[in-house]
Structure 1
C-alpha cells in the first residue's frame, strides 16, 4: 500500500512531535548498578509530587490557567513600575510578600541541578519541575534585561514585615532595588548567572531557542559580576540585611557561576577562569555549609564531576576539596565537624536548619553518582567511604524530614499523617480570597498570626525550618526560625526525592 505524500508528511510530523515531546519530558535516565530495595518506609514519589507543587503556592504575578494551588490568586501585577520596568512574576521566597533575587536565583540553580542530575528518573513530575524552573527564569530574564544592571529585589522587607497580609491584598511599597556598575553585587549577579546557565541545560533539548537565550544572558551577567566586583549588601545594606545579607562574600558565587557556565557552554574561557582564579576565590576553603549564601561546597562537587567523569585533569584538586566536605559530614570520622541532633538530624543553624539538610542530602546523592560513574571512593583519613554510604546518610536525613524523628512529625506540609499546622506563611494562614473576598488590611491580619488555629490553606509540599538541636518543634506560627517554609529548602529536595523514589521502584 503506497502512502500519499500528505500522509507521509503527517507521519513525519507526528514522529517529530512525539520525539520533541519525549525530549521535553524525558531526560536520559542514568543507569543504576544495583537492584531496587524491596521495601521503603516512605512514599518518596508522593513527597516528590508535593515538593514541586509547593512552588505553585509561592508564585507571584499572573497565575496560569493550569495553576494547581487554587487558593492563590494573581498578585504583584504592577511590580517594577516604580522603576519603569516589568518585574511581574517570580517567587516569594518564604512566608512574606517580598521578592528577593538572591535566594530566588539559588532556588532556580538548585531546581535545575535537580533536573540535570535526576530528571531522567522523574517521569511525570519532570514537566512540573521544568515549569517551576521556567517560572523563575522568565523572571530572572526580566530582572537582567538591561546590561550591567540587575533588579535584585521588589518590596521593602521592613514595611512588608510590619503587615500580615495576603499577597493578593498587598499594599506595602513595592520598592525596586537594583545593582549596577556603581553599586555592584558580584554575589547575586554570580548566582543569577549560575541559575540562567544551569537552566539553559534543562531546556537545551526541548526548547533550544529558550536555552540559547538563557546561556547568552548568563554569559553577559557573569561578565558584569566579574567586572564590577563587590558584595551587594555593601551598597544595599538597609534593604537586604539582615534578611539576605551576603555573609560569605562574593568569591564563592564567582567560582560557582564560572563552574555552571563551563558546564553549560563548554567555552574554554570558563575553564581557564576557574584554573586562574580558583584559589583566590576560595576553592580550597574548609567550610561545610551549602546554601543560598555559601556556594563553596556545591562548586567543589560540581567541578569534581568534570574531573571524575569528564576526565578534565586540570580540575583534579576539586576531587580533594569535595572529599574534605564529605568527610566533614561522616559521623565518627576523624575529620567530622558536623553536629547532629540526638534523633540524627544534621544541624547547622537554628534558623531554617532544614535548608542545610536538603542541600547537603542533594550533594551527597549527586557526589555518590559521580563516584559510582568513575569507580572511585572517598578516603577520610584511612576510612574508606563508599557511594553506598553517602546514599545511606542522605536517605536517613530525608527520612527524618518525612517523619522518622522523635516527634513523629513530617516537616513537609501535607505529607504523612502528622505535619505542621501553623506555618509562618501569610497566604497560608489568612483566609483565601475565595473564602473571604473582602480585603484584609495590613494590621488586621495579625489576629490570624496570633491565633492557635491551624492554617486555613494547606501549602502542600512546603518544608519548614524544622526542629531545634534537641529535636523539639513547637509548631508555632510566630516562630519563623522553625515554622517558615522557603523555596530554597524545597529546591534541592526535589532531586533527592527523585533519586530515592526511583531507587525504591516507586518511579
Structure 2
C-alpha cells in the first residue's frame, strides 16, 4: 500500500462528548484539548499516545525458508521465550506483592484516628466524659462573661489557652471539606462519627457568636485558669473573619445533611452573616487584624494579609451548600479580584492565610461535575489553569524547592513546613481523584505534563515524610511509630495531670524542663523540620515543636484522601459532587 500523505501523518483526532450546556467536555485521550485554551499558560505538546507512527501500518513481503535446521532452532527459541514470559508473569502474579499504592510500613487508618484524637485534646468548655483523652477536663467555663455573652466551647488553638475564631473556622471548613468529599472512606474506617463530632463541637461554638474570643497567654493548664479572659469584638469590617465563618458553616451544613434541622440552622446563619459582610461599604472592608479592637492579639500569630480569598472561599461554599447561582456569580467575581491581587508570597500554598488555591480546585470541580456554562465559563477555565499550575509547582523542582529528604519548601522563611506539605498532599490527591473520576489520565502546564499517578505519588511522598520516612527517621505525628517528638510545646501535655493546681511560675518550670512530657499529645502534628531536614525536639522551640488545629486539619484531610477503599472502589462515591 502507498505511504500516507504528509497531511495524514500529522493529523490527530480527539473525540469529545457534548454537554447539556452545549460545550465540549474533555476526552480521556486528550485533556488539554480544552482545559488549557484560556491562553494563560503555554500549550503543551501532544502526548505520545496521540503521535501517529512514522511507518506504514502494513507492508508487502515474501518469506522464503532456505535452511530447515535454522528454522527449527528459530521456532524452538521463540517458543522457549514465549513460555518463559508466561512463567514469569504467573510467578509475579502469585507471589506476595508489596502494595504499590501504599507503603506497607504506613498505617493510614491508625494515623487518621490519632490525628483526629488531637482535637479531643484541644476542646474547651464542658469536657466530654467519654473523651479518649483522659488528662483533660472542664475549662473556660466563664468565657464570654466579660462581653456578657456565652462563648463557652470551641478549641484551644495550639499549645496555649487561646481560642482564635479565624483559625477555628478555617479548621472546621477544611475538616468538613474532607468529610463531604470522602464520607465513604471515613465510614469505612469507622471514623465518620468521630470527625462529625469534632466538626460539630466547632460549629456549635461558631454559632454562638461572630466574634473571636481570645484568652490571656499565661503558662497554666486550661483547667487552672482563674484570670480574666478578654474578648475582642469585631464588626462587619472584619471581612476575612466573617467570610471564613461563612465557609465553615456552609461546608459543615453538608456534613450534617442527614440532620435537616441542624444543617438548616448552619446554612441560615451562614447566609445571614454573608449578607452582613457583603453589604458592608467596600471602603470599610478589610482584614480582622488591621483593627486593634478586633485582631490586635491575633496579629503576631495569625496576621491576615488579604480578605478577597476568604470572600471567594465563603461564597463558593455557600453556593455548594445552597445551589443558589447568585453565590456562584459572587464567588467567580471574588476569585477574579483575588487573582489580580495575588502576591508571590502565598502563590503556591494553601493554609489559614490563603485559600485561593483551594478555591481554584473547588471551582474546577464545579466546572467538571456541574458544568454551569455561560456566563461562568471563562472564570472556571481560569480556575482549571490555575489548578494545573499549582499541581506542576508541587511536582517539578524547577517550580518549588524541596529538602534533601523530599519535603516541599513553598515558604522557606515563613513558619513550619509541614502545614504546607499536608495541604499540598490533600489538594494533589483530591485533584487526581477529580480527573480520574472523569476518566482523564492527566493534564499539563507550560512545557510539563503530569498524570494521575504522579499526583498520587507526590501526595503519598509528603504524608510518608510526615509519618517517618525522612532523614531524621522520626514521625512528626505524636504517638505514631517508634520515634516521635516527646517535648511538644503544649500546656496540657507538658504539665502533670495530678489534680493539683499549678500557678504561672510552676508552668514556667515545666516549659523549661528537659524531661519528656508527662502526657502524650496523641495525634498532634508538630511544626516539623527546617529546610535542611533537621529537627530539634525542644519544648521552648515553638516553630519546631508546637502543633495547631489548623495544621492538623490539613494532615487529616491528606490522610483520609490517601486511605484506600476496599476493592479500589471510587473514592468520590457519596462525595460533594454527588450531593450537589
2:256 aligns with one of 191, 200, 203: 203
Partner residue in 2 for 1:222: 274
Q: How many residues align?
A: 452
Give a deviation string over 1:65-100, Cα, whole Å, max 9, x none: 221101101100010010111000000010000000
Matched, 1:430 2:495: yes
Q: Distance between the aligned counterparts of 1:447 and 1:505, measured in 2?
A: 53
Give a deviation string over 1:474-505, Cα, whole Å, max 9, x none: 10000000100011111122222123232587
1:340 aligns with one of 402, 410, 415: 402
Partner residue in 2 for 1:62: 126
Shift of 1:301: 0.6
Shift of 1:283: 6.7
Give a deviation string over 1:86-121, Cα, whole Å, max 9, x none: 000000010000000111100000100111111211
**Paired residue secondary structure (2:337):** coil
**Paired residue secondary structure (1:66):** coil
Q: How does 1:92-241 map to 2 (within 5 A)?
A: 92-122=156-186, 123=188, 124-143=190-209, 150-156=210-216, 160=217, 163-181=218-236, 184-205=237-258, 207-228=259-280, 229-236=285-292, 237-241=295-299
Shift of 1:371: 1.3
Partner residue in 2 for 1:245: 303
1:271 aligns with one of 328, 337, 340: 328
Partner residue in 2 for 1:14: none
For the structure 1 residues 255 and 77, does the alpha-carbon distance in structure 2 shift closer, same or farther, using more than 3 Å as the test?
A: same
Q: Distance between the aligned counterparts of 2:335 and 2:532, measured in 1?
A: 38
Give a deviation string over 1:442-480, Cα, whole Å, max 9, x none: 122111110110000111000000000000111000000
Shift of 1:318: 1.0
Partner residue in 1 for 2:9: none
1:327 aligns with one of 382, 392, 411: 392
Partner residue in 2 for 1:293: 353
Shift of 1:284: 8.3
Partner residue in 2 for 1:31: none
On the 8 A contact 2:309/2:334 being kept in 1, the answer is no
Give a deviation string over 1:373-413, Cα, whole Å, max 9, x none: 22343202232211221111010000000000000000000
Q: Distance between the aligned counterparts of 1:427 and 1:505, measured in 2?
A: 41
Q: How does 1:482-493 map to 2 (within 5 A)?
A: 482-493=544-555
On the 8 A contact 2:313/2:331 being kept in 1, the answer is no
Give a deviation string over 1:209-242, Cα, whole Å, max 9, x none: 1001111111111222222321111113532211
1:479 aligns with one of 534, 537, 541: 541
On the 8 A contact 1:215/1:264 being kept in 2, the answer is yes
Q: Distance between the aligned counterparts of 1:54 and 1:321, measured in 2?
A: 33
On the 8 A contact 1:36/1:503 being kept in 2, the answer is no
Q: Distance between the aligned counterparts of 1:97 and 1:283, measured in 2?
A: 38
Matched, 1:312 2:376: no
Shift of 1:339: 1.9
Q: Distance between the aligned counterparts of 1:73 and 1:138, measured in 2?
A: 19
On the 8 A contact 1:36/1:504 being kept in 2, the answer is no
Give a deviation string over 1:117-164, Cα, whole Å, max 9, x none: 112112211110100100100000002xxxxxx2112314xxx1xx31
Matched, 1:399 2:456: no
Q: Distance between the aligned counterparts of 1:190 and 1:201, measured in 2?
A: 17
On the 8 A contact 2:460/2:562 being kept in 1, the answer is yes
Q: List alignment gaps of at least 5 residues for structure 1.
A: 1-34, 144-149
For the structure 1 residues 345 and 504, does the alpha-carbon distance in structure 2 shift closer, same or farther, using more than 3 Å as the test?
A: farther
Partner residue in 2 for 1:3: none
Matched, 1:502 2:568: no
2:317 aligns with one of 260, 270, 278: 260
Q: Distance between the aligned counterparts of 2:444 and 2:274, measured in 1?
A: 35
Moved more, 72-81 or 229-238: 229-238
Q: Distance between the aligned counterparts of 1:172 and 1:414, measured in 2?
A: 32
On the 8 A contact 1:308/1:319 being kept in 2, the answer is no
Q: List alignment gaps of at least 5 residues for structure 2.
A: 1-98, 570-580
Moved more, 270-279 or 457-466: 270-279
**Paired residue secondary structure (1:478):** coil
Give a deviation string over 1:18-72, Cα, whole Å, max 9, x none: xxxxxxxxxxxxxxxxx98485220111101101111000000001222110110
On the 8 A contact 2:338/2:356 being kept in 1, the answer is no
Larger Rg: 2
Query: TM-score, normalised on structure 1?
Result: 0.86
On the 8 A contact 1:61/1:75 being kept in 2, the answer is yes
Give a deviation string over 1:313-358, Cα, whole Å, max 9, x none: 32232111111211222224xxx43221111011234522211111
Pairwise CA RMSD of aligned residues?
1.9
Partner residue in 1 for 2:509: 447
Q: How does 1:343-382 map to 2 (within 5 A)?
A: 343-347=405-409, 348-349=411-412, 351-376=415-440, 377-382=442-447
On the 8 A contact 2:430/2:561 being kept in 1, the answer is no
**Paired residue secondary structure (1:132):** helix
